[in-house]
Amino acid sequence: MRQLSLLFLAVVILVVCGAQPQASWTVEYDTQHYHVQARIPREKADELGNFMELVFKVYTALMNIKEAPANKFPLQIYADRNDYVNVGKAPPGSGAYYLPSEKRLVGYYDPKSMYSFFAHEGMHQFVDVAQPNFNDVAFKATWYSEGIADCIGNCEVINKKLYMCRKNGYIASIRLPVIQKAIAMNKHVPLAQFFALNKQQYYANPALCYSQGWSLCHFFMTYPKVEESSKQIPNGKYRLFLAYFHELLLSGENLAGATAAAMLKGNDDGPKPTKKELDASGITAASATKLKSLDGGKMPSIGDLEKEWKEYIVNFNKPPPEKEKKPSEAKPAQGK
């Protein structure tokens, strides 16, 4: 339960955490994209600073940012949880947080959890700076902004490259039991309702909503696979749904229209929608015309999509079934 609270209460900080006390920093230096202030030795600070540079490359690729912002991203690292709470005055339940008013990413050194926390909150920092209109997206579609940040936080570094949406990631280990139990007890939020949740409704039930948001974004990114081990950013069957949904919201479309239109183009091998169908989704004529020319086709119905997602999550951590051998592959019985 303590682990769950660490990943949920960063939201609270944006409301209750005002100007930060002036801390005495042990080290202060710049990486390529971050201005690091830390209350730990340089070699420990480098562990996180170097990691964030790996994450930064995935941020830019995932969000299709051609040119990184010129200013350094503020990154502050406290020595440990006690230092973070007592000196940094952060609420005790948080693991890390992003403060939009000062563009600061703040957390503490913990070799087990810090990578997931900083990668998640760093996603909020990155899109706020690189795509200022994304604040509107996050307000309209909290399930997406929090879910995709969880997918980044649920990462693994292999040969100095960061891979997102990992099957055995730290965040998956926390979120998966919650959403599997909710599905088993029929306590999950039906997808049609979940897509429409506003920010207040989402944060009112954080344990369930964060877990469902992570599971849904992971599903869209990787389905039908559980992970794509060779790709830093998965390219699942429904990844286009998230890509188009993001762009539609960023261009100012409302939540209902963006959802309906992305459902018509989010399947990489689905049947093509007509312009009439796209127009009927509620998006502008310009968006409908642009979307019609892009790749992708119709998603399953919302009911069928929910069935696919539920089956996928229920079987997420189960070993794949053994392949049945053909008669020609079976070894003949050995006689005495």
Q: What pTM value is reported for the model?
A: 0.89
Q: Domain-by-domain residue ranges, the chain?
A: 2-132, 175-314
Can you tell me the distance from the alpha carbon of 126 to that of 133, in angstroms, rounded to the nearest whole number? 12
Whole-number Cα distances in Å, 227 to 23, 48, 162, 240, 243: 41, 25, 14, 16, 18
For position 94, what pLDDT does the model report? 86
- Note the pLDDT of residue 323: 58
Q: What six digits make up the tokens of 145?
A: 């902004």
Report d(CA 125, CA 118) in Å as an integer.
10
Distance between CA 135 and CA 118 in Å, rounded?
Answer: 19
- Cβ–Cβ under 8 Å, residues 174 and 4: yes
Q: How many CB atoms lie within 10 A of CB 232?
A: 18
Count the Cβ atoms, other than its own, within 10 Å of residue 84: 26
Q: What pLDDT is stored for residue 321 in this prediction?
A: 65
pLDDT the model gives residue 138? 78
| Predicted pLDDT of residue 140 | 85
Q: Which tokens in the block code for residue 171?
A: 């965040």
What was the pLDDT predicted at 326?
52
> Which ranges of the chain have pLDDT less than 70?
1-22, 320-336
- Alpha carbon of 97 to those of 7, 12, 124, 126, 313: distances in Å? 10, 9, 9, 13, 28
CATH architecture, domain 2-132: 3-Layer(aba) Sandwich (3.40)
> What pLDDT sits at residue 3?
45
Query: How far does Cα 308 stand from its chain's mean position?
Result: 20
User: What was the pLDDT predicted at 133?
Assistant: 80
Nearest to 287 by CA among 322, 318, 327, 260: 260
